[in-house]
Chain A
Amino acid sequence: MTAPSLAPGRTGVVGTARTRLEGRAKVTGAARYAGEVPFAELAHGWVATSSVARGRIRSIDTEAVLAMPGVLAVLHHGNAPRLRPGVGLFGPDATLQVLQDDRVPHVGWPVALVVAETPEQARAAAEALVVTYDEEPHDVAFSADHPGVYTPEARPPAPPDVERGDVDAELAGSAVVVDEEYTTPEEYQSPMEPHAAVARWENGRLEAIDSNQGSYAIAQYIAQLFFLDAASVRVTSEHVGGAFGAKGVRPHLVFAVMAATMLDRPVRVVLTRRQMFTMCGLRTPTAQRIRLGADADGRLRAVDHESVSYSSAIQEFVEQSTRPTRVLYATDALRARTRLVRLDVPTPTFMRAPGWAPGSYALESAMDELAERTGLDPITLRLRNEPAVAPASGLPFSSRNLAACFEEGARRFGWPDRDPRPGVRRDGRWLVGTGVAASAHAAMTAPSTATATAEADGTFTVRIAAADIGTGARTALHQIAVDALAAPPEAVRVRIADSDFGPAQFAGGSMGTASWGWAITEAAAALRERLALADEIPADGITVRADTSELVRARQPVERHGFGAQFAEVAVDPASGEVRVRRLLGVFAVGRVVNPLTARSQLVGGMIMGLSMALHEEGVRDTASGSLVNGDLAGYHVASNADVPPIEADWVDDPDTHNPTGIKGLGEIGIVGTAAAVANAVWHATGTRQRHLPIRLDRTLTR
């Protein structure tokens, strides 16, 4: 057969709304997540965690627990398999080195795994396990002036320090200066599906079903950790119940592999909701000082952004909160500094729009304060400081269109009619206000491989180790494949989330669809070339593999980002301090949108997480015990249905040829800017600035 010619993505199904391919399975309960696949002889592991914040394990009383009904094993640092050190997704990851020594670095650190015939037995035994500790003094109190604050080592994509021009001189010469500190608290990804994995040995091969963001890389790291041949490990993750950065390689999988290996039977390990709060990362709190210097007409002369965050005693993780400042506004002088302090706390990790989300809250709040002090409309101020090139790197943008987002958003939101004065609008007992903020997120692409097979029956199969963590990736990749193969949708199947499909980018950094889509496009093009020369398709089909490593590497350096403008209307009850968000609008420039239905869901979902960040989310750490006070979904409130008003998300044309698919990625940008838009709206409603998240009742009542 020969394939008809059709330029990839030009016509066809990319850009049309499609319901999810796995939708029927999800609404009927048929979709099985990692902890839901049954196996004969399945054993259940339950993690026991430390109750102290720092110290050494003195003893673990395994004997009593081993005598309990159904208990098969108690793994601890004295008997667990040795792991290869220095393994991790982004450099050595100490959080994977569980049960390797007697050190306890924070409350909730895993100290043992109890394995039993049933989950009830495993849980009871884990709770009965007596562990004693030699405690050491701990420090979990985060602040920007902590004596331990230091400059972390440079790591991509953002070096800790950027300095262009003379910030101090420009500040001294500015007509208007804003100099404020903004803080954000501990925030937790909290995907609905707890981390789960089942591991088993099958014909000499380790097979794991895991809830994660990228099976290929995780299979590699598991192989390295356990001194195994890379080809002897397979990880699959067909359905993943949310991730938001928390589902890289996590201890639950390491435990499942340890136990399956020791017991030679399938072992499932599912973390409890409370354990997710201590073992799966979090967004570090930040303390950010922003100084803006401007001429009287609002033109920026100086931008100085310093962000301090924390990491754990065992691992350096840097929240790069100055990233928005490096791309958003033109300025004569720019200084961005990233600082870190190490505490006896769980190790932070990526959470939706790492750096961008907390950083934009600070920067976009400060810009609103500058608008107030210069007497300018907040949108006018931002448009006046649109840069020709990226302010930090000096590189051109692949495309930007932020101004178009503001203009379209302002028109739809009714912004031009806004009275700029704060605290003057009433609706019954409510004070009402509106606010705006810019959104930005990096639009990176990473190498991936994909295969495309022309089957003998005339259909096509595309395989790629992508992950669909709720993004709609499976459906979007199907659309891309359909167009690239110029085949009818029903003749194309896309299979994902299997490490055997070869190297592929993680579902992270808003890089998934762009990276995977490129590889699929290349594979499809190569397959069509092969088919043009083939007389017939053999019984086992014709398969080609594409690898975009060279293509990705060969690109010219350019600043590639998505941008957006977010608008919020809030009502504040001056008696109780309650804040209600009444509506949100986001208009984005995010390259080509593959599936408007699922893209809108992702953008709106990001904005809802942004609303939640603005009003609700705050991990509260007890300095005396070092533990998280509110580590469950009752204490750590995430936005519920009743918290969420009508929300609209849309996009402007944003052609970008830097990746041949034109895709920029939009999984994270929705959360960037929302919190500032809400905070700015609360100021507009009440006249009280909100420089600390979340915007609690007591904070709206304090002047």
Chain B
Amino acid sequence: METNSSAISLRVNGETHALTVDNRTTLLDALREHLDLTGTKKGCDHGQCGACTVLLDGRRATACLQLAAAADGRTVTTIEGMADGDRLHPVQQAFLDFDGYQCGYCTPGQICSAIGVIEEHAAGWPSAVTADVRPEAGPPPLDADEIRERMSGNLCRCGAYVSIVRAVAEAAAQVAAGREAAGGQGSGAGGTRVTA
């Protein structure tokens, strides 16, 4: 067994965990089976559905396509780390208010993805539907088309997309307003908590 396992350290939601994992264990299974953080969902195990989306060193990643051993030393933010105590992240609150979900199984991935989208957009990243990608054009407005495109790595079989787009737009506006009130742009580090 010794040669088939690795001792790793993961920083998850602000807490450092020392783990011994089977080398075949994915980051997703490490979160779910070893750390009991089952909020990150397994929909396909192939990186096709987005249900396992987490923020890995602040950027969106499908946890099913990462081996836990290869994530040694990295920082992970999962759905369980998004709220500020009892206060939901604006994206979480908007999903709740706008009914941006039905069965809820893709929801943690959608929310992590949306938080990543808002950060990526604020950092000026274009998407496939951005009309003008020149740096001097600045970030495009985060309109419905931009949100749809940027959120398309997260499948929702219940078909909550229309409400998801509304929820992300609403939350993005709140996050932006929060940033303005705080007097500056975000660092671009995903997982930055911004309260409305």
Contacts and interface: CB of A to CB of B under 8 A. Distances in A.
Contact of A241 (B41, B147, B148, B149): B41
Interface string A267-308: 000101100000000000000000000000000000000000
A23 interface: yes
Interface in A621-654: 632-634, 638-644, 646-647
Nearest to A190: B157
B43 interface: yes
B99 A24 contact: no
Interface stretch (A135-143, A492-500, A600-608): A600-608
B25 A120 contact: yes
Contacts of A118: 22, 33
B80 A29 contact: yes
Contact of B96 (A19, A243, A638): A19
Interface in B24-55: 24-25, 29, 32-33, 36-46, 48-49, 51
Contact of A470 (B78, B102, B154): B102
A27 B161 contact: no
A632 B44 contact: yes
B98 to A, nearest CB: 9
Nearest to A470: B103
B46 A470 contact: no
Interface stretch (A30-38, A316-324, A446-454, A546-554): A30-38
A12 interface: no
A123 B92 CA distance: 34
Interface string B1-18: 100100000000000000
- Chain B: interface secondary structure? loop
Nearest to B43: A192
Contact of B149 (A119, A638, A642): A642
A632 B48 contact: yes
Given A27-B107, A601-B102, A642-B148, A273 B37 contact: no
Contacts of B154: 641
Given A602-B102, A646-B162, A192 B41 contact: yes
A694 to B, nearest CB: 16
B103 A191 contact: yes
A29 B42 CA distance: 13
Contact of B148 (A33, A242, A632, A644): A644
B102 A605 contact: yes
A471 interface: yes
Contact of A606 (B37, B44, B108, B159): B159
A593 interface: no
B157 A638 contact: yes
A29 B37 contact: yes
A634 to B, nearest CB: 5
A638 B155 contact: yes
Interface in A183-230: 189-194
Contacts of B82: 28
Nearest to B127: A642
Given A26-B101, A191-B103, A644-B148, A273 B159 contact: no
A598 interface: yes
Nearest to B38: A36
Nearest to B89: A27
Given A605-B158, A642-B149, A242 B165 contact: no
Nearest to A605: B159
A678 B158 CA distance: 19
B196 interface: no
Contacts of B32: 36
A568 interface: no
Given A273-B46, A604-B162, A641-B151, A29 B101 contact: no
B138 interface: no
A69 B1 CA distance: 8
A469 B149 CA distance: 27
B48 to A, nearest CB: 4
Interface residues of A, number: 66
A105 interface: no
Given A28-B88, A608-B159, A242 B107 contact: no
B79 A29 contact: yes
Given A23-B96, A192-B105, A644 B161 contact: yes
A650 B106 CA distance: 25
Contact of B102 (A119, A123, A472): A472
B163 interface: yes
Given A22-B104, A28-B83, A192-B49, A601 B163 contact: yes
A94 to B, nearest CB: 27
Contacts of A469: 103
B170 to A, nearest CB: 14
A239 interface: yes
Interface string B43-79: 1111011010000000000000000000000000011
Contacts of A600: 99
A240 interface: yes
B162 A242 contact: no
B160 interface: yes
A408 to B, nearest CB: 20
Contacts of B175: none
B194 to A, nearest CB: 16
Given A19-B99, A639-B159, A192 B106 contact: yes
Contacts of A123: 24
A406 interface: no
Contact of A27 (B33, B111, B157): B111
Contact of B39 (A28, A272, A606, A640): A28
Contacts of A633: 43-44, 46, 48-49, 155
A607 B161 CA distance: 11
A604 B158 CA distance: 9
A26 B80 CA distance: 11
A472 B97 CA distance: 14
A192 B103 contact: yes
B162 A644 contact: yes
B78 A29 contact: yes
Contacts of A24: 88, 96
B108 A642 contact: no
A20 interface: yes
A241 B103 contact: yes
Interface in A574-607: 597-598, 600-602, 604-607
A609 interface: yes
A356 B68 CA distance: 46
Given A28-B79, A472-B102, A634 B46 contact: yes
A518 B80 CA distance: 38
Given A27-B88, A29-B40, A241 B104 contact: yes
Contacts of A501: none
A605 B164 CA distance: 12
Contacts of B165: 641
B166 to A, nearest CB: 10
Nearest to B37: A29
B156 interface: yes
Contacts of A602: 102
B159 A26 contact: no
Given A28-B92, A606-B159, A644-B161, A193 B43 contact: yes
A607 B96 contact: no
Given A29-B38, A472-B102, 4 more contacts: A19-B96, A33-B41, A119-B33, A633-B155
28 contacts: A22-B104, A23-B101, A27-B93, A27-B96, A27-B101, A27-B107, A28-B79, A33-B38, A119-B33, A120-B22, A189-B157, A191-B103, A192-B51, A192-B103, A193-B41, A193-B43, A239-B103, A242-B105, A242-B157, A472-B102, A601-B99, A604-B163, A633-B46, A641-B154, A641-B164, A642-B149, A643-B152, A644-B162
**Nearest 8 CB-CB pairs, A to B?**
A29-B39, A470-B103, A241-B105, A608-B159, A605-B159, A26-B104, A29-B79, A470-B102
Interface of B: 1, 4, 22, 24-25, 29, 32-33, 36-46, 48-49, 51, 78-80, 82-83, 88, 92-93, 95-97, 99, 101-108, 111, 144, 147-149, 151-152, 154-165
